[in-house]
Every structure is written in structure tokens, then in C-alpha cells.
């Protein structure tokens, strides 16, 4: 069973930065797609950023392009989300997720991800 553990959330003022980390433990075999999602109460979970294990494909939601950067350290089975120029609208619970796939083509919809972390709260104040 895969375990995903997020860290790095917190409270920050608008314009500030945070770096989220997601460490995968247990077996990581064929966890070829990793993503960050966020959710606020009463709304659907939305994709924020994603990366395939080869690093050949990334995804960013339009709302975070140019501000957020996803990266990974495969040797550490860890994915990062660097969040800069944070806005109050970025306030949400952030989740890391992994999809077990046969190849490196990733579908970034939440429904396609097999494993989820417990979430880490990000709060941005104006």
C-alpha cells in the first residue's frame, strides 16, 4: 500500500511563498504520475500541478501558471510544489496524489489518481 505524506503547509501573507513536499513510502512501482490538488469546503477538488516520473510532462492550472512550480526527486520518492506570489484565492487544503500507470502519459483529472495524502492546509491572508 502506498503512503503519501505531505508537509510544508502553513499561513502566509499575500505575496509570500511556501514549499510543499510529498514523500511516497512503501512501494512506488509504476507511480508514474504525481499531482497536487486543492480543495476548499463546498467545492470540488481541483488540479493544481502535475508531473510524470520521467519529468517529460508537467501540468499547471491556469490560475497558478507562472507562480507555482512542481518538481521531483525520484531518488527520494518526493515531489515538491514551490508556490510563489501567493494570493488569498490560493487558500485551500492541498493534497498530493499518485497514479499507478503503465506509461508516462498522465490524465490529470482527480478521478484518475489512485492514492492520496492526508492533505496540508495553506492559508494566505490579504
The CA-CA-CA angle for residues 9, 17, 72, to 5°, reads 70
**Residue-wise pLDDT tens digits, 26-79:** 777 889 999 999 999 999 999 999 999 999 999 999 999 999 999 999 999 999
| Residue 8 Rama label (left phi>0; alpha psi -120 to 50; beta) | left
Tally helices (H) and strands (E) across the chain.
0, 11
Please state the φ and ψ torsions of residue 87, each to the nearest 5 degrees. -120, 155
Above 90 in pLDDT, residue 124?
A: yes
Please state the φ and ψ torsions of residue 81, each to the nearest 5 degrees. -135, 105
Please say whether the beta carbons of 51 and 80 come within 8 A: no
**Residue-wise pLDDT tens digits, 96-113:** 999 999 999 999 999 999
Q: What are 95's strand-pairing partners?
A: 37
Amino acid at each position: 500500500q502506498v503512503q503519501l505524506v505531505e508537509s510544508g503547509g502553513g499561513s502566509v501573507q499575500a505575496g509570500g511563498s511556501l514549499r510543499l513536499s510529498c514523500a511516497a513510502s512503501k512501494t512506488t512501482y509504476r507511480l508514474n504520475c504525481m499531482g497536487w490538488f486543492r480543495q476548499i469546503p463546498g467545492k470540488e477538488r481541483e488540479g493544481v500541478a502535475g508531473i510524470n516520473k520521467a519529468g517529460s510532462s508537467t501540468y499547471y492550472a491556469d490560475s497558478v501558471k507562472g507562480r507555482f512550480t512542481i518538481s521531483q526527486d525520484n531518488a527520494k520518492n518526493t515531489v515538491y510544489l514551490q508556490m510563489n506570489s501567493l494570493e488569498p484565492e490560493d487558500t485551500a487544503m492541498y493534497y498530493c496524489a499518485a497514479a499507478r500507470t503503465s506509461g508516462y502519459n498522465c490524465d490529470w483529472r482527480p478521478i484518475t489518481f489512485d492514492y492520496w495524502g492526508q492533505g496540508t492546509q495553506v492559508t494566505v491572508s490579504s
